[in-house]
Chain A
Amino acid sequence: MTTVSTPAASPVAPAATGRSPSRVIWDRIRRDRAAKFGMVIIVLFVLIAVTAPLLTMINGWSPYDFDPTAVDKRMAGVPKGILGGISAEHWLGVEPVSGRDIFSRVVYGAQISLLISVLAMIVSVAVGTVLGLLAGYFGGWVDAGISRVMDLLMSFPSLIFMIALISVMPEGNRVLLLVAIMGGFGWPYIGRIVRGQAITIKHREYVDAARVGGAMGASILFREMLPNLTAPILVYATLAIPTNIGTEAALSFLGVGVRPPTASWGQMIQESMLWYEVDPMYFLVPGTCLFLTVLAFTLFGDALRDAIDPKGSR
Chain B
Amino acid sequence: MIIYLSKRLAAAAGILLVICAVTFVIFYVVPSDPALQACGKTCTPERVAEVRAQMGLDRPIWEQFGVYVVGIFAGRTLAAGVECGFPCFGFSYQNSLPVWDLLVDRLGTSVSLAIGAAVLWLIVGLTVGVISALRQGTTLDRSLMIATLTSASLPVYFVAMLLLLFVVRVTEILPYPAYVELAEDPMAWASNLILPWVTLAALYAAMYARLSRAQMIETMAEPYIRTARAKGLPERTVVVKHGMRAAMTPIVTIFGMDLGGLLAGAMITETVFGLPGIGRLAYDGIVKSDQPVILGTTLLAAFFIVLANLAVDLVYAVIDPRVRYS
Residues of A near any B CB (own CB < 8 A): 151-152, 155-157, 159-161, 163-165, 167-168, 170, 242, 246, 249-250, 253-255, 266, 269-270, 272-273, 276-277, 280, 283, 287, 290-291, 294-295, 298-299, 313-314
Assembled-state Cα–Cα distance A103/B158 (Å): 19
Assembled-state Cα–Cα distance A276/B169 (Å): 9
Q: Which of A161, A255, A283, A313 contacts B161 (CB 8 A)?
A: A283
Assembled-state Cα–Cα distance A291/B206 (Å): 15
Assembled-state Cα–Cα distance A167/B282 (Å): 13
- Contact status B286-A250, CB under 8 Å: no
Q: Which of B274-308 contact A (CB under 8 A)?
A: 282-283, 286-287, 289, 294, 297-298, 301-302, 305-306
Known: A283-B158, A287-B158. A167 touches B153 (CB 8 A): no
Chain A residues within an 8 Å CB radius of B157: 250, 253, 269-270
Chain A residues within an 8 Å CB radius of B82: none
Query: How many residues of chain B have a CB within 8 Å of chain A?
Result: 48
Q: Separation in Å of the B312 CB from the closest CB of chain A? A: 13
Chain B residues within an 8 Å CB radius of A277: 165, 169
Chain B residues within an 8 Å CB radius of A160: 267, 282, 286, 294, 297-298, 301
- Contact status B302-A313, CB under 8 Å: no
Residues of B near any A CB (own CB < 8 A): 15, 18-19, 23, 26-27, 29-31, 149-150, 152-158, 161-162, 164-165, 169, 210, 213-215, 217-218, 261, 264, 267-268, 271-272, 282-283, 286-287, 289, 294, 297-298, 301-302, 305-306, 309
- Contact status B165-A280, CB under 8 Å: yes
- Contact status A165-B26, CB under 8 Å: yes
Known: A152-B15, A160-B286, A168-B30. A314 touches B153 (CB 8 A): no
Residue of B15, B30, B217 with most partner-chain A CB within 10 A: B15
- Contact status B261-A157, CB under 8 Å: yes
Q: Separation in Å of the B113 CB from the closest CB of chain A? A: 15
Q: Separation in Å of the A257 CB from the closest CB of chain B? A: 13
Chain A residues within an 8 Å CB radius of B29: 168
Assembled-state Cα–Cα distance A272/B164 (Å): 13
Chain B residues within an 8 Å CB radius of A254: 267-268, 271, 283
Known: A164-B286, A283-B158. A295 touches B30 (CB 8 A): no
9 A-B pairs with least C-beta separation: A157-B301, A295-B153, A287-B158, A313-B214, A294-B153, A313-B218, A314-B214, A168-B30, A155-B305
Q: Separation in Å of the B145 CB from the closest CB of chain A? A: 9
Q: Separation in Å of the B211 CB from the closest CB of chain A? A: 9
Known: A156-B19, A168-B29, A253-B268. A298 touches B153 (CB 8 A): yes
Known: A155-B15, A155-B305, A298-B149. A168 touches B164 (CB 8 A): no
Q: A160-B301, A276-B169 are in contact. List 16 more A-B contacts (CB 8 A).
A: A155-B306, A159-B268, A160-B297, A161-B23, A161-B298, A164-B286, A168-B30, A170-B31, A269-B155, A269-B157, A269-B161, A277-B169, A287-B158, A295-B150, A295-B153, A298-B153
- Contact status A155-B309, CB under 8 Å: yes
Chain A: which residue is nearest B210 at the CB level? A314
Chain A residues within an 8 Å CB radius of B297: 160
- Contact status B19-A152, CB under 8 Å: yes
Chain B residues within an 8 Å CB radius of A291: 153-155, 158
Assembled-state Cα–Cα distance A210/B243 (Å): 45
